[in-house]
Amino acid sequence: MISSLQKARYDYAPKLPDSLCSSIQDISLEFGSPTESISDREEIRDIFKNTYGKPLVTFAKGNEKNEKIQRELKVGVILSGGQAPGGHNVIAGLFDGLKKGNPNSTLLGFKGGPSGLTGNKTINITKEFLDEYRNTGGFDIIGSGRTKIETPEQFAASLETVKKLNLDAVVVIGGDDSNTNAALLAEYFIANGSNAQVIGCPKTIDGDLKNEHIETSFGFDTACKTYSELIGNLCRDTNSAKKYWHFIKLMGRSASHIALECALQTQPNVCLISEEIEAKAMSLEQIVDLICESIIKRAKNSDNFGVVLIPEGLVEFIPEIKKLINELNDVIAAEEKSFAAVTNFTDQLNWLSSRLSECSYGIMKSLPPDIAQQFLMDRDPHGNVQVSRIETEKLLLGMVEKKLNNGKFSALTHFFGYEGRCAFPSNFDADYCYSLGFSAFVLIASGLTGYLSSVKNLTFPAAGWIAGGVPLTMMMNLEQRHGSKKPVIKKALVELDGKPFKTFAEKRSIWAEKTCFLYPGAIQYYGPSEVCDSPTKTLILEKE
């Protein structure tokens, strides 16, 4: 049995840009000028000798027939990293494009993420199989994984799989790290004599994979609308009961895009923006003072309730905590086996005493033991502390309670993260993802490699969207990973001089004192286009 909504969503027909709606032979490619990486150009060029400097690509309706686009293709697709609403529609758009180009084309899904490529674990994606996943959330069609392809053996195994399956291309659906992997694979294949192409698609609910050509990453729209519904529900509840402060941590590994968007949608009393805290070099104590200031102001009006939004990655932007985390990452990476042998927390602190700076060690000892231990948990595949496991909301609440020492203050903590990653995609994400998948097909059929599928002009109706491709190397810089400099796609953080943040900053002093909550409600799939198809407030403000 399936739900009535699920059944109805199967029948939803995603909208495409006009350039992709014409006869498949009429799609032409317009090339821009050669591109450069955003920084570290000589080093990036040296790493990507065969794929650096490619031009931007835009699709258009052509005057000459594009016969090449109708060739039979065999393509493999990977879902990489955390789930994001719309992933199934990327695969649907890719599949439909392949079949429209040539009914004999084949799409294979690599099971379980990048490890499916290195281990040659595939499933044949047919229309009947795919139709059960169209316009639905989740990555369960083929599963995902966080394996990072980085060793010589993993690259060699990937190439061996491509050769055995006789693939023309591999599509990597993922975030900045996953698409960095896609760029490295594209380079490796060429350097080792393979004609297999690699194309990426921009996925992450965090919203930090974007630039002037990638206006948003897919899943961000749906996740923010899902979280905003939940936040709005809590706003309504606390405004009804007139009690409880809700400290809500929101997913977002590094950037505060989700917190900012949810603040614009719900108007909480306090919303912390990590990038601003770093720019102002605010200490942990100053952040606590900021929250207490709102609590005290509202208490004077007998409003002993409120809502605080906290970005997941906040701790990495507080200067003294960021220094501590960087030292921990470097020390643990350099002496991984030695640290792993120490399992008792007291012994771990002793182990760190001679390896951390005096300042960082002092902060480590000052943290509540249960919070301090969370800084020492297993690192993610990239060697970084897993900030989602650090209960920042509980740390701040405990410090606020201690500072206020007020019996009238009562609070609850929440973490909204997984609730939004597999939601039914909004119409915007359903359309956007389908267009990204279809665009990936056009890039493959046109013989390109090392590109990220791109769809922009997203505040317009879908017919006016502009599809094309962005060279992956164009978005790269060098960053410290596992103790050495490595090429990665640079994360896009909240711009403090951008209109979304400025709009928020203009209003937050009023929200801090007054009850100005908004209640956005559930995602709407049917009704007026301005309700059902609207993008995020962030995107609208950025394009004004």
Q: Which CATH class is domain 220-421+496-542?
A: alpha beta
Taking the C-alpha atoms of residue 359 and residue 349, their distance in angstroms, rounded to an integer, is: 14
Q: Which band of pLDDT confidence, cut at 50, 70 and 90, is reported for residue 383?
A: low
Query: How far are the Cα atoms of 226, 358, 397, 423, 477 from residue 538, in angstroms, in the given order?
Result: 15, 41, 28, 20, 25
pLDDT recorded at residue 456: 97
pLDDT recorded at residue 418: 94
Long-range contact set of residues 156-164: C-beta below 8 Å, sequence gap at least 24:
157/117, 157/118, 157/119, 157/120, 158/117, 158/118, 158/185, 158/188, 159/188, 159/189, 159/192, 159/194, 159/196, 160/120, 161/117, 161/118, 161/119, 161/120, 162/76, 162/189, 162/194, 162/196, 163/194, 164/120
For 251, phi then psi, to 5°, come to: -55, 150
* pLDDT at position 481 over 80: no
* pLDDT at position 482 over 80: no
Query: Is-same-fold flag (26-219+425-481; 220-421+496-542)?
Result: yes
pLDDT recorded at residue 61: 87
User: In one letter, which amino acid is 542?
Assistant: E
- Please report, rounded to a whole number, the percentage of residues in the chain having pLDDT higher than 70: 99
Render pLDDT for 175-215 as a digit per residue (tens, 0 to 9).
999 999 999 999 999 999 999 999 999 999 999 999 999 99
Question: What mean pLDDT do residues 62-77 have?
Answer: 87
Render pLDDT for 501-539 as a digit per residue (tens, 0 to 9).
999 999 999 999 999 999 999 999 999 999 999 999 999
Q: Write the burial class of residue 366 (CB in 10 Å: 0-12 exposed, 13-18 middle, 19+ buried).
A: exposed
pLDDT recorded at residue 86: 98
CB 266 within 8 A of CB 215: no
* pLDDT at position 471 over 70: yes
User: In one letter, which amino acid is 112?
Assistant: G
Question: What mean pLDDT do residues 220-249 have?
Answer: 98
Characterize 435-445 residue by residue with b for buried, 16 or more Cβ atoms within 10 angstroms of its Cβ, and e for exposed: bbbbbbbbbbb
* pLDDT at position 254 over 90: no
Taking the C-alpha atoms of residue 400 and residue 225, their distance in angstroms, rounded to an integer, is: 29
Q: Which two tokens stand for residue 455?
A: 């769809």
pLDDT recorded at residue 501: 98
Of 316 and 48, the one with more pLDDT: 48
DSSP 124-137: E--HHHHTTTTT--
CB 76 within 8 A of CB 515: no
Q: Which two tokens stand for residue 134?
A: 């169209």
Q: Which band of pLDDT confidence, cut at 50, 70 and 90, is reported for residue 3?
A: confident
* pLDDT at position 66 over 90: no
Taking the C-alpha atoms of residue 435 and residue 438, their distance in angstroms, rounded to an integer, is: 5
* H or E segment to which residue 215 belongs: none
Q: Flag the least confident range among 18-32, 82-96, 441-455.
A: 18-32
* pLDDT at position 381 over 70: no
Taking the C-alpha atoms of residue 67 and residue 447, their distance in angstroms, rounded to an integer, is: 12
Q: Which CATH class is domain 26-219+425-481?
A: alpha beta
Taking the C-alpha atoms of residue 58 and residue 179, their distance in angstroms, rounded to an integer, is: 20
Please state the pTM of the whole predicted model. 0.94
List residues with catalytic annotation.
Answer: 206
Taking the C-alpha atoms of residue 495 and residue 499, their distance in angstroms, rounded to an integer, is: 8
Q: Which two tokens stand for residue 352?
A: 């760190």
CB 315 within 8 A of CB 249: no
In the block, tokens 């027909």 appear at 13
Q: Flag the least confident range among 70-74, 117-121, 477-481.
A: 477-481
Q: Helices (DSSP H) in 121-219: which residue ranges?
A: 127-130, 152-165, 176-191
Query: How far are the Cα atoms of 20, 23, 209, 286, 322 from residue 365, in angstroms, in the given order?
Result: 58, 66, 35, 19, 15
pLDDT recorded at residue 91: 98
Taking the C-alpha atoms of residue 491 and residue 260, their distance in angstroms, rounded to an integer, is: 16
Please count the CA atoms within 13 angstroms of the CA of 102 that sit on its side-chain side: 17
- Please report, rounded to a whole number, the percentage of residues in the chain having pLDDT higher than 90: 85
* Ordered strands of the 466-471 beta sheet: 27-34, 55-61, 466-471, 451-456, 197-202, 169-174, 74-79, 106-110, 122-124
For 402, phi then psi, to 5°, come to: -65, -40
Residue 170 C-alpha from the chain's centroid: 21
pLDDT recorded at residue 367: 87
Average pLDDT, the chain: 94
List the domain boundaries for the chain. 26-219+425-481, 220-421+496-542
Query: How far are the Cα atoms of 218, 328, 375, 495 from residue 513, in angstroms, in the given order?
Result: 35, 39, 34, 25
CB 93 within 8 A of CB 430: no
Q: Flag the least confident range among 116-130, 469-483, 488-502.
A: 469-483
In the block, tokens 């084949």 appear at 106
* pLDDT at position 357 over 80: yes
Radius of gyration for the alpha carbons in the chain, expressed in angstroms and rounded = 24
Q: What's the chain's length in residues?
A: 544
* pLDDT at position 225 over 90: yes
Taking the C-alpha atoms of residue 398 and residue 409, their distance in angstroms, rounded to an integer, is: 12
The residues, ordered by sequence, that sit 6+ positions from 449 with a Cβ below 8 Å of its Cβ are: 51, 169, 186, 189, 190, 196, 197, 198, 199
Characterize 26-62 residue by residue with b for buried, 16 or more Cβ atoms within 10 angstroms of its Cβ, and e for exposed: bbbbeeeeebebeebeeebeebbeebbbbbbbbbbee
